[in-house]
Chains A and B, each alone.
Chain A
């Protein structure tokens, strides 16, 4: 029962904050609602018995990405960039009007439905367990899998992170020669 309560709270937090992200005019508020969504998703991971993934989610997103986003918003003008001209249904700041969005949603709905029909047979073959498994720690198992079965992906992701680190540092560095020319 308490798992159900946690699930309901997390799901409401996730979906509510995501909708609020869409509606918020102020990009700074959108970032904060993203924080709520991410914490809600971490709660959903907990209800799925994925303790390590939940904590990693909190660590990487709350401690890293959200603060980076806030910094980026602040350094690029903050809330001055509020789109007032374009509004969808008088509510959502967006380009396009209700007709273009209606057509887009209809198209995507048809697309998703056809995908469901296509993969229905594949999904049918998968056995879905109904009852809750007893909770076991996933830390040891993830550690073993990362260094045995998925060691290539693990190493590649470390190379990716190194590349991202150097790339971000090079891109964002101040350009001295341009300042000298101006």
Chain B
């Protein structure tokens, strides 16, 4: 039952759900949630390939770096969201149309 394909299927589902969240929602935090899902799907793929198709564990290292980058992205992204909310009092993505003030 446990094969490479099952992991890839889960990863594909996660990727598409994340993509849908990113495209369909207008709340900036929801878009960041979608990005987290996509990054996780990629990391899962790395580990699955490293287990089934490679003899080394470089895939683990890659997924660790993916986690690090996700953390950095979440920190900066949420800081921007909070700052944007302080300026505009909304986190609707369509309101973000101006480059100044």
Contacts and interface: CB of A to CB of B under 8 A. Distances in A.
A38 B6 CA distance: 17
A56 B67 contact: yes
Given A50-B51, A77-B91, A127-B53, A142 B69 contact: no
Contacts of A93: 24-25
Q: On chain A, which size bracket covers the interface?
A: 35 or more
A128 B21 CA distance: 33
B10 A44 contact: yes
A145 B57 contact: yes
Contacts of A3: 2
A56 B64 contact: yes
Contacts of B99: none
Nearest to B67: A60
A141 B57 contact: yes
A39 to B, nearest CB: 11
Interface string A35-63: 00110010011011110110011001100
B51 A76 contact: no
Contacts, number: 195
A53 B71 contact: no
Contacts of B78: 68-69, 71-72, 168
Contact of A164 (B2, B10, B30, B75): B75
Interface string B40-81: 100110011011111001101101110111111111101111
A22 B20 contact: yes
A160 B2 contact: no
Ranked nearest first, the 7 interchain pairs of A and B with the lowest CB-CB distance are A94-B24, A164-B72, A168-B79, A172-B79, A171-B79, A72-B78, A76-B85
Interface of B: 1-4, 6-7, 10, 12-14, 16-21, 23-27, 29-30, 32-33, 36-37, 40, 43-44, 47-48, 50-54, 57-58, 60-61, 63-65, 67-76, 78-83, 85-86, 90-92
16 contacts: A7-B1, A18-B18, A41-B44, A44-B44, A57-B67, A60-B70, A65-B70, A77-B85, A83-B26, A94-B24, A142-B61, A146-B64, A150-B61, A157-B65, A157-B69, A174-B86
